[in-house]
Each structure stands twice: as structure tokens, then as C-alpha cells.
Amino acid sequence: MKEIASIAALANRFSALPGVGRKTALRYAYAVIDMTEDEVEAFCAALRDVKSSVRLCSVCGNFTDREVCELCASRKPEKICVVAYPKDVAAIEKTGAFDGVYHVLHGTLSPMDNRTPDDLNIRSLIGRLSGASEVIVATNPDVEGEATAVYLARLIKPLGVKVTRIAQGISMGSELEYADAVTISQALGRRTAI
Amino acid sequence: MKEIASIAALANRFSALPGVGRKTALRYAYAVIDMTEDEVEAFCAALRDVKSSVRLCSVCGNFTDREVCELCASRKPEKICVVAYPKDVAAIEKTGAFDGVYHVLHGTLSPMDNRTPDDLNIRSLIGRLSGASEVIVATNPDVEGEATAVYLARLIKPLGVKVTRIAQGISMGSELEYADAVTISQALGRRTAI
């Protein structure tokens, strides 16, 4: 049996989400049939709203729905925690172990994927260093994350700002996004100079 | 950190999909930010299209985008395979082991959940029996599926139509939707009289 065209089309859209295969996508599409029309409209509105309201904070590069994000607006920019992606900010904030500000690179250095420093949100980080006493590099403890940390240390230390790295309490090769709160807290607490 | 309101709202919508928890829903919502505006519009259109175009076949109750579904329109209604949900039709069709028509109950009998025969698409099944020689009950081999099969057998056999049950080649307690094609084929091939 051919799938009904509209169901197949919707399943294709769901397949674009991270980790969603064809079977799961079809399951989601079937679930939409059972929604009320109001629910589908609300779903559409939520999709559009995210796309239209979410932008990057002009200071740190994290997702926000205003010009400057809540964290940049309310915290002292003394310690700057550098992460690869917005989801990493969420992971660290959940621990409550850090009260400084963040800087989101939107990626890591990767010669393999042709990602150079120019592709990352690094320039604006340099512009934020005047009032900062410490930059904590909290990229994932994998090859690309380490390379990015080393690059940032070489770039920033000559400017007289201390650069630290979260401790390798997070096991090598795993991803920050999935680490538990205690592990992230310890990694922040035992950060070491690069 | 509070999630941005629009992201939290979209994550809530994604949570309504089957098997999607809060963490996965947030991951999906973040992925939407990375979509282009055109992709988001296409996503919305696909959602609406499913809701507006998909309805129930007036003969068998399966999902379709026309008055009578493709299968009912093209196949002889000699053998009628009764399933609980539209996804079960898709699972059986994928095996290619059945060339008759289907009847979708949209549920199973369940005294626990207060689902009686009146809540299922059973009345129209009785109306289809005049040209039929056999009704194959392919509900899941669990308590509710078995109860539904027994009920249908008692209802239909007095009308002079043979009622069979797919073989218990599918392990007890598992779900038809996830069975592999070989298992489903065998269960169809070894169907037994109730």
C-alpha cells in the first residue's frame, strides 16, 4: 500500500528532526491525524513563533527573543563560559553551579569539516574580554572540543585573561548535552588552567 | 535559566507526539530554529494538509484522502481482515501476504477502559458481510485483542461467514505494529478457525 500522499509528506518533514527515522516519522504523522484542528493550528503557530521570535543575543550569541538575552542583561560579565551550542548553556544552567555569563561559538573547530575560526562566533568574544577575569572553555571533551579550547587559550592568554578548561570529569567522547548535573557541576568546580 | 517562551511552547507541542519526552521535545524545538523560514512554512502546510485531507474510508474505516480508500476500491471484498488501527493495515500490507480488504475497528474491546462494541467500528463490518467468505481477525495477540476476536467470532459465525484468527506466531504481549514481515506473513498463513 502506498502511504496517503499528505501523510508521507508530513512524515518527510518529521524526518528532518534530529534522530527521527522513517518509522518514527510515520508514527508522528499518524498522531497528527488524531489531533483536533485547534491543536494543529496551535502546533503551526508554535512552529512559526519559534522561527520568528528566536534570534541570537547580540552579546553572547545564545538564543533569545530580545536584543540582549536575559543572562547577559542580568549577570556580571566577569567569568565567561564558552560553549559550542545553545543547548550546552541550558545543560550548565540546569546545574545552578555557574553564575557568570556565556559565549556561544555555534560550533567547534574542525579541519575535517572545514570549520575554521572565521566560521565560529569568536570575534565578538574577544570584544567582551575587557571586563572579564576568566574565560572557562566548556566545549565537549572530544577532539574538536579540545582543539577549540587550545585555540582559544592561545588567542586569549596573551591578552592577560585567565583561560580555564572544565575538568575531564566528563568521560572522553561523550556529549555535554547528555551529562548529568553532578558530573557537569564537578567539571565546573575542578576546572584547570590550560 | 528559563527556556525562551516560544521554544518551551513548541516543545510542549512536540511532547504531544507518541513517545516524545521533555528532553526530546526540546531537542526538536531547537532543531526548528535551524530550519529556514520556507522549511517551517512547508512543515505547517504539511500538518494542515494531513488534518484537512485525511479522513476515514466510508467502507472500511481506514485513513484515506478520498471517499472510498484505494484498497476498498480496487480489491474484491471476499476476505476481510479486521484490525484495530490503521497502522496495522500498513504493517500487513508491507508483507504483501494478503490481497483482500481490511476493516479498521479503531480500538479493541476493553471493559477496563470502558470501550464497548458501540465504541468500535463494528456495525459497518456486519453490513459488509454479504459478499464475504471469510473474516480474518488480526487484532494484537494480547488480552484486549483476544477478547475482541472472540466477540467478533460469536457475532459473525451465526451469519454463516467463516471467522479465522491470525496464528499466534506473534509472541503474546507484543504489538503488531513492531513485528517483522516474516512473522506477520506466518501469522497470516497459519490462521486458525476460532
Chain A nearest C-alpha distance from B154 (Å): 31
- Residue range B119-138: average pLDDT? 91
- Give every CB contact of residue A176 below 8 A, 6+ residues apart in sequence: A83, A84, A88, A91, A138, A139, A140, A170, A184
Identify which has the larger pLDDT, B169 or A134.
A134
Question: Taking CB atoms and an 8 Å limit, are A44 and B47 in contact across chains?
Answer: yes
Question: Taking CB atoms and an 8 Å limit, are B47 and A42 in contact across chains?
Answer: no
**Contact status of A78 with chain B (Cβ, < 8 Å):** no
* Cell numbers given for B110: 476493553
Which residues in chain A have their CB less than 8 angstroms from residue B29's CB?
Answer: 50
Do residues B42 and A14 make contact, with C-beta atoms less than 8 angstroms apart?
no
Which residues in chain A have their CB less than 8 angstroms from residue B28's CB?
Answer: 17-18, 20
Tens-digit pLDDT profile for residues A85-122? 998 998 898 888 899 999 999 999 988 888 888 899 99
Q: Which helix (H) or strand (E) covers residue B103, if one does?
A: strand B101-104
**Contact status of B48 with chain A (Cβ, < 8 Å):** yes
**Intra-chain end-to-end CA distance of chain A, in Å:** 60
Note if the pTM is more than 0.90: no
Do residues A51 and B40 make contact, with C-beta atoms less than 8 angstroms apart?
yes
Question: Mean pLDDT, chain B, as a whole number?
Answer: 88
Per-residue HEC secondary structure of B121-182 comes to: CCHHHHHCHHHCCEEEECCCCCHHHHHHHHHHHHHHHHHCCEEEECCCCCCCCCCHHHCCHH
Question: Taking CB atoms and an 8 Å limit, are B9 and A63 in contact across chains?
Answer: no
Helix/strand/coil for A116: coil
Q: Which of residues 16-35 of B touch A (CB under 8 A)?
A: 16-20, 24, 26-33, 35
The residue behind cell 490462521 is B191
Identify which has the larger pLDDT, B96 or B192.
B96
Give CA–CA dist A38/A46, Å, rounded. Answer: 12
Question: Mean pLDDT, chain A, as a whole number?
Answer: 89
Closest CA to A188 of A86, A99, A97: A97
Give CA–CA dist A42/B47, Å, rounded. Answer: 11
- Residue range B146-171: average pLDDT? 87
Give CA–CA dist A159/B177, Å, rounded. Answer: 61
Question: Taking CB atoms and an 8 Å limit, are B33 and A1 in contact across chains?
Answer: no
Residue B171 has pLDDT above 70, yes or no: no
Helix/strand/coil for A91: helix
Closest CA to B169 of B191, B154, B152: B191
**Contact status of B99 with chain A (Cβ, < 8 Å):** no
Give the lowest-confidence range in A114-123, A138-147, A154-163, B185-194: B185-194
**Contact status of B86 with chain A (Cβ, < 8 Å):** yes
pLDDT score, position A172: 63
> Which one of B10, B48, B90 has the shortest CB-CB distance to A1?
B90
Give CA–CA dist A65/A168, Å, rounded. Answer: 33
Chain A nearest C-alpha distance from B111 (Å): 22
Do residues A46 and A38 make contact, with C-beta atoms less than 8 angstroms apart?
no
A189-194: which pairs have CB atoms within 8 A and are 24 or more residues apart? Answer: A189/A97, A190/A166, A191/A136, A191/A164, A191/A165, A191/A166, A191/A167, A192/A164, A192/A165, A192/A167, A193/A162, A193/A163, A193/A164, A193/A165, A194/A137, A194/A149, A194/A150, A194/A153, A194/A157, A194/A163, A194/A164, A194/A165
Tens-digit pLDDT profile for residues A20-45? 999 899 999 999 998 999 999 999 99
- Residue range A147-164: average pLDDT? 93
pLDDT score, position A187: 76
Which residues in chain B have their CB less than 8 angstroms from residue A17's CB?
Answer: 27-28, 31
**Contact status of B126 with chain A (Cβ, < 8 Å):** no
Do residues B47 and A64 make contact, with C-beta atoms less than 8 angstroms apart?
no
pLDDT score, position A170: 66
